[in-house]
Structure 1
Amino acid sequence: MEVLEAIRTRRSIRKYKERSVPEDLVKKILEAGRWAPSASNAQPWNFIVLRSQGVREDVAEATTYGKFLAEAPIGIAVVTDPEASTHPVEDGAIATQNMLLAAHALGLGACWIGAYGSTYEDEVKEILDVPKNKRLLSIVSVGFPDQSPKSSRKNLEELASENRFGKIIED
């Protein structure tokens, strides 16, 4: 799948088939995160693969909008180090998006569960033994999709302007 098609067709998947994700696909997803760009090439991230059903259930229970993680075959927590980068949130977000796109390109479904600054970030960090000086940016649920959500986008003319905010781009 070419990258523009992956970007255009990726959707957030919250329902998964009861089928494990092969290890080679998990590694490819992690590699996609590892190869994300970061400020000054700091690579201020760590990835925690949530294989244990019990761990996924505990994390899902702690979250506000990520209850479906308990039904996903795996999860991946993205942890960033604010001391290692001048832009740890952006760096971790790019790594997360790379993993979402890689999962889709590999025929898997995934969904971003936000954690950074949430009311449950500290609780999930404790469940996952994340050091206090690190931040839990996101959790990604991953599995073979058991749904095909549709979505639409605003017209480009509503979003993009030229040289100044609101100046329509001319053909």
Structure 2
Amino acid sequence: MDVFKAVSSRLEIREFADKPVPDEVKLRVLEAARLSPSGVNTQHWRFILVDDKKALRELADMSTTGKWVGDAAFAVIVLTDPKYPFHRLDAGRVISSMQLVAWEDGVGSRIYTGIDEQRMRGRFGIPQSLEITAVVGFGYPKRRVLGRKNRLPLEKVAFQGRYGEPLSLKH
């Protein structure tokens, strides 16, 4: 799948099939995270792979917005170092890379940030020096993914030279 097709076709998956994701796909997802850029090449992010069903249910119980992760095939807890002012930007780059690589293999994903921080730190051994920036659940979609992204037209969000100035690019 080419990158533009992946970006334009990927949707957030709300329901996952009860089907395991092969280890090689999980490794590719984690490699995509590792290979993602980071500010000043700090590589400050860390990742916890959660693929045990019991642990996924516990992760769901520790969430205020991600109860669905209990049905995912696996999840990645994305940790960043808040001493870097760009740490959340770096997390976004990592997450996007992971999601696109997963989607290339037919694996959908969804993100959440609403967590019970202290419980998660205790259960997964997360040091206080790192921020639990997001959790990304992955799995094969339960249903065939159909749909269209509901996005504003390009001319409403992109300008040329100055805010509000229309694009003069040719198709």
Please say whether Structure 1 and Structure 2 have the same fold, judged by a TM-score greater than 0.5: yes
Cα-Cα RMSD:
1.5
Q: Which runs of 5+ in 2 are unaligned?
A: none
Following superposition, the deviation at residue 95 of structure 1 comes to 0.5
Equivalent position of 1:160 in the other structure: 158
One of 107, 119, 122 as aligned partner of 1:123: 119
* Alignment map for 1:28-67 (pairs within 5 Å): 28-67=28-67
Q: Which runs of 5+ in 1 are unaligned?
A: none
Equivalent position of 1:133 in the other structure: 129
Within 2, Cα distance between the matches of 1:109 and 1:125?
26
Equivalent position of 1:103 in the other structure: 102
Count of aligned positions: 167
Following superposition, the deviation at residue 149 of structure 1 comes to 5.0
Within 2, Cα distance between the matches of 1:103 and 1:54?
22
Within 2, Cα distance between the matches of 1:103 and 1:48?
16
Divergent runs of 4+, >4 A? none
Within 2, Cα distance between the matches of 1:130 and 1:90?
20
Letter paired with 2:157: L
Q: Partner of 1:167: helix, strand, or coil?
A: coil
Q: Partner of 1:125: helix, strand, or coil?
A: helix
Following superposition, the deviation at residue 86 of structure 1 comes to 4.0
Equivalent position of 2:90 in the other structure: 91
Provide the TM-score with structure 2 as the length reference: 0.91
Following superposition, the deviation at residue 17 of structure 1 comes to 1.1
Following superposition, the deviation at residue 138 of structure 1 comes to 0.9
Letter paired with 1:131: P
One of 141, 145, 154 as aligned partner of 2:141: 145
Instruction: Describe the superposition over 1:124-165 as per-residue Cα deviations: whole angstroms up to 9, x where unpaired.
Output: 223221001110111111111113252321100111111221
